[in-house]
Structure 1
């Protein structure tokens, strides 16, 4: 009789352990299934804002592009004083060429444009100009396949022949040399 409660408790413990394992293995997980993952946003050719000035929308129906093959890359900017203005130009490293133009009297005039990495080579590729006067400026560009750095092969080292040294004249016999100076 003393063993009967022991067996009963052991049976209950084993039953609880077995049933808890079975119930856990049958429990369904809450899986929402496949969902739409938003696509990674890639920067465009010239996404971003001008470094200074006020952004404006350029209407090319009022003021035509400076050349028929040029595309307006982003919004324009209006500045009130002279100074450096820059616009991000990611396309510059993928074969796009661009220039900054100033709107004077309804016509786009090209201004000197230079390109920098800001603040350094790990930063943003920028198209910049020094605005000599206040006005409206915009970035125009075109894709040039020959300027595409991915379309060129990396430079390779080519072996070059080095000229064989010519023998030097022998010192006259009997004359003083390094070895027999007196």
Structure 2
């Protein structure tokens, strides 16, 4: 590592000495140049914006960089219970997928439970994607549109699965036929 860094340090030192010599002849003050340096003067690079400097200019709804984060109201449904329900639903899909094929029975009740679990699991997954990737503060209109589009898509798929279960062969039988085809 030292052999890699050494040539650049030598070049910087040579450059600094040349600049100092040129500045001495030009009667200009020499700029301090160091091989490895850091500056704590960040204000010259990016001055603070008007909202950070003058709190009176800031709207009451927006927060500055150094304002404390708002504490949300405690709600168990949006915390660990919600996460636990998602994990149990995802883990429950494994036996619901295998059971109709392992037992050999084609039960419409089992198909209905499987379809509703898959539909709920998909809805909750896409809901988390919308929450994570479409921020409410930046895109309120897009967030509302995607939320309604997700609800409409979930309803459409739910009606389609119901029609497929009641008026056709059902999901398990369809998978069985496709597998044997």
Same fold per TM (> 0.5)?
no
**Structure 1 or 2: more strand by fraction:** 1
Greater Rg by CA: 1
Query: What TM-score does the superposition give when structure 1 sets the normalisation length?
Result: 0.17
Question: Relative contact order: is structure 1 or structure 2 higher (C-alpha 8 Å, sep ≥ 6)?
Answer: 1
Query: What TM-score does the superposition give when structure 2 sets the normalisation length?
Result: 0.17
